[in-house]
Structure 1
């Protein structure tokens, strides 16, 4: 196929699905991907940010997927289009489409393609497939203000849809965008599931309460289902019979405060059994855990045997961080990048500090930077207070020692300066990493440091006077 034929075909798909023809950036992305280029290369060629190119690509693959009735990604775009072209040349003129109408397209001067749904194919899903959804406590995301995270959306989609991951964790610091990312994924893919339910463990209920609740919601065709000692059996029968997406937010609330990360409270150890069973039992559904701490299952289970995945979120890239600052209409654009780096690309921190700059510094980022200090707003302090209170005594000793050092520290440094055993230091460092409160620097001698904001918090609010 020539690139002209590909662009003509793509333009017809986009126009039929969106009512608009391809624009210049979309054409550039299609050409680049067809030629095997990376998003970074494409961004350089058209003088756009990489995050912008990723976003354009993501929307294109979503449109193609919905139009063709199969999952299209950057990685399989060319091979899929070439396969369809070969099918057409072999007189297989009918291929899948996800709506019930028939539309005609052609590859440039090639012969006619007719899109229709094969009714006998159970794997091709109607766009209105979802039979039940309960998102009453899920956040409402204004897509206009969804910054960056295109790559993370692609990863999440790839893990859950084609790879059929059964247990998925989305992890990271408070405010980093975990909940927003998962909700955006749902908004884009809700039609691909029979059942979608969102629950929050902020006010933790017993597992029995949660299971009873979920069974009543999922078992739509049998509203009189009796909850018995065989809840798990009923539950997994439903997960096998229907394609369910269940989200549990704020999972860290079932872990013990004051101990190493990811240890279950005594009254909530049955959640661990549920998570393990979700990963180890054959079914077609997915459970997403959103947490500030990594659950033990995400490291203890054999990933070669069980379909489990973790997505650990870091700060936004520069272009996405600058978009947040721009929304607040702050001045002194030449200082924006510095501001984004100071606050670690954390969307929530950037919102807090941008509000402070508007309130106190008359929108002038330069005046704020001139203060010369990292300022911890009251809202940030409350977040860090919660994180600090959840830490074990061993972790607190470690962060207090690291915060006193201007240089990165090694395990040997901590052995010398802390009155802790070697095993306590090693376990404490691992737990801090599982809370996303420790950066590891890979050199000949492994070194550690605290994120700059958290270090500033420790020095100002937790250091003995």
Structure 2
């Protein structure tokens, strides 16, 4: 029950009288949990005067309801009274399901005697099958906006349980659901809102995919929560005023606000200079107000929750979140094998060994969207034969534009420093420790910025941490490897070296299996690409020898992998 509904209830209880303006002020502020001094600061009246008005109001309500009413318990008393009305209605119409009972202002106009009310309270305490939880809301007001219709949903029990614990039991005010594209953040946010709706008076779900300004979102929220009593014309023009007004509603009612696709309003690292500090979670110009909104919602006291989904973590979370704080974030990963298999089987019947199934699911790290795209292709091209798909996959012959576009979009948002670390992780192929990466990196500034860069990549949901080791998901590693080959190829064609200096192609000290992988996945496709671009193997050899000679003649004292890399390509061509 929100403030307006409680006032309607009081009007019915007090008939033919009604609250005067001062009584209404006291009731509104008491409903929001304010003390008399805080009321006085807000409305300009003397605190003792307000206390006297309140004392007389609580005494009047105590007489009407035949039980003690105070500023502290008025919400609980009126809540029980309203539930008693709904229970009476359900007793009069046995065929009506209890969960379908609508607790609304209509019920407050029903006439029941105080004796019936007391009897109803007795029934509420003794008939557990009819009792309604004090935290349950019969029918919250919900605006789903552009939320997807979740027809099929597999797994995520751990996530749903943890989020319910955070939001309902621990009353977290700001929660982020983070992860790469395609993992199902949007779907999970909708499912979570559906699951938790009985705990809220209002639920509103909005997507930021089209990057609305924060001013527009604030108007949207307030207009919904005020039931259209407040509009853009009546609200403060400045962001601060609108945020404060929203917080009043978040204090007076239990609200769940969901913002999807928050990464749309965040700035990528591609705009940074090489020497810039890498900061993840900064906002695009004109969208900084979202940061203020998140900060206020996370810091200030209220009884509602804002849930956001994003591929990247907004910067405010770093200082606000923690196990002991009302701000949390969850890094979403892929589905478990059993659930991932069900997602694939939605597309039809498939044949393949258990190993084949495991290989496909592991390659796409249980990403539901990737698995749906791949499953459709296996059906259409290979008649559902997963083993044939694995053969093509091992040869690098199948690349799906939809998957590549999604991964490429995230990769292109990275800064130069972040891309270079992504190249190192793709070259390594296996999880690698920070200390090993530091040995590989020869440029001082890159070595110095390594911890910061790894942290940034983690906040962008682009790398995985396994204990002290770092790695990439297989499908992302495949894309990064292709990008690396494209860059090295271009450097050799135009004879302007950068990555060829800073990154090795084949590591002499690597395990034989890893060395073979690097030759097969990096050196071989690079040589093939260069031969095609230069017209022949002989032309490529001439180009490589010219560049090698220039490197030796330059007499640079800067450390470089260039000579070693050029020699390895020449050796491969003549092997």
220 and 449 in structure 1: CA distance in 2 versus 1, 3 angstrom threshold: same
1:295 counterpart residue number? 314
409 and 217 in structure 1: CA distance in 2 versus 1, 3 angstrom threshold: same
1:346 counterpart residue number? 367
Deviation at 1:124, TM superposition (A): 4.0
126 and 438 in structure 1: CA distance in 2 versus 1, 3 angstrom threshold: closer
Are 1:182 and 2:189 an aligned pair?
A: yes
**TM-score normalised by L of structure 2:** 0.58
Whether the aligned pair in 2 keeps the contact of 1:261 and 1:391 (CA below 8 Å) is no
Deviation digits for residues 1-57 of structure 1, max 9, x if unmatched?
xxxxxxxxxxxxxxxxxxxxxxxxxxxxxxxxxxxxxxxxxxxxxxxxxxxxxxxxx
C-alpha distance in 2 between matches for 1:245 and 1:430? 30
Task: Describe how 1:133-152 pairs up with structure 2 within 5 A.
Answer: 133-142=142-151, 145-152=152-159
Are 1:336 and 2:345 an aligned pair?
A: no
Deviation at 1:427, TM superposition (A): 1.2
SS at match of 2:432: coil
C-alpha distance in 1 between matches for 2:244 and 2:372? 45
2:423 counterpart residue number? 400
Worse-matched range after superposition: 310-319 or 403-412: 403-412
Worse-matched range after superposition: 161-170 or 306-315: 306-315
Higher Cα Rg, which structure: 2
Structure 2: 5+ residue runs without aligned partners?
1-82, 95-125, 273-278, 490-575
SS at match of 1:303: coil
Query: Of the candidates 462, 466, 486, which is equivalent to residue 437 of structure 1?
Result: 462
191 and 114 in structure 1: CA distance in 2 versus 1, 3 angstrom threshold: closer
SS at match of 2:465: strand
2:204 counterpart residue number? 197
SS at match of 2:452: helix
Query: Of the candidates 234, 241, 259, which is equivalent to residue 252 of structure 2?
Result: 241
Higher relative contact order (CA 8 A, sep 6+): 1
2:541 counterpart residue number? none
Whether the aligned pair in 2 keeps the contact of 1:298 and 1:308 (CA below 8 Å) is yes
1:227 counterpart residue number? 235
Whether the aligned pair in 1 keeps the contact of 2:137 and 2:200 (CA below 8 Å) is no
Deviation at 1:346, TM superposition (A): 0.6
C-alpha distance in 2 between matches for 1:226 and 1:348? 43
Task: Describe how 1:341-420 pairs up with structure 2 within 5 A.
Answer: 341-371=362-392, 372-373=394-395, 375-415=398-438, 416-419=440-443, 420=445
Q: Would you say how many aligned residue pairs link Structure 1 and Structure 2?
A: 353
1:307 counterpart residue number? 326
Deviation at 1:167, TM superposition (A): 0.1
Deviation digits for residues 301-339 of structure 1, max 9, x if unmatched?
153664011121111111101111222222225322222
Worse-matched range after superposition: 313-322 or 190-199: 190-199
Whether the aligned pair in 2 keeps the contact of 1:97 and 1:115 (CA below 8 Å) is no
Deviation at 1:232, TM superposition (A): 2.2
C-alpha distance in 2 between matches for 1:449 and 1:98? 56
C-alpha distance in 2 between matches for 1:426 and 1:333? 41
Are 1:262 and 2:281 an aligned pair?
A: yes
**TM-score normalised by L of structure 1:** 0.71
Whether the aligned pair in 1 keeps the contact of 2:321 and 2:328 (CA below 8 Å) is no
126 and 254 in structure 1: CA distance in 2 versus 1, 3 angstrom threshold: closer
Higher helix share: 2
387 and 293 in structure 1: CA distance in 2 versus 1, 3 angstrom threshold: same
SS at match of 1:183: helix
2:170 counterpart residue number? 163
Deviation at 1:152, TM superposition (A): 1.1
Deviation at 1:173, TM superposition (A): 0.8
C-alpha distance in 1 between matches for 2:483 and 2:357? 27
Q: How well do the aligned residues superpose, as a CA RMSD in angstroms?
A: 2.5
Deviation at 1:410, TM superposition (A): 3.3
C-alpha distance in 2 between matches for 1:97 and 1:431? 55
Whether the aligned pair in 2 keeps the contact of 1:376 and 1:453 (CA below 8 Å) is no
C-alpha distance in 2 between matches for 1:267 and 1:133? 29
Deviation at 1:290, TM superposition (A): 0.3
C-alpha distance in 2 between matches for 1:287 and 1:154? 17
Task: Describe how 1:100-111 pairs up with structure 2 within 5 A.
Answer: 101=90
Structure 1: 5+ residue runs without aligned partners?
1-94, 104-111
462 and 250 in structure 1: CA distance in 2 versus 1, 3 angstrom threshold: farther
Deviation at 1:407, TM superposition (A): 4.0
Deviation digits for residues 182-207 of structure 1, max 9, x if unmatched?
11112223232211111111111222
1:318 counterpart residue number? 337
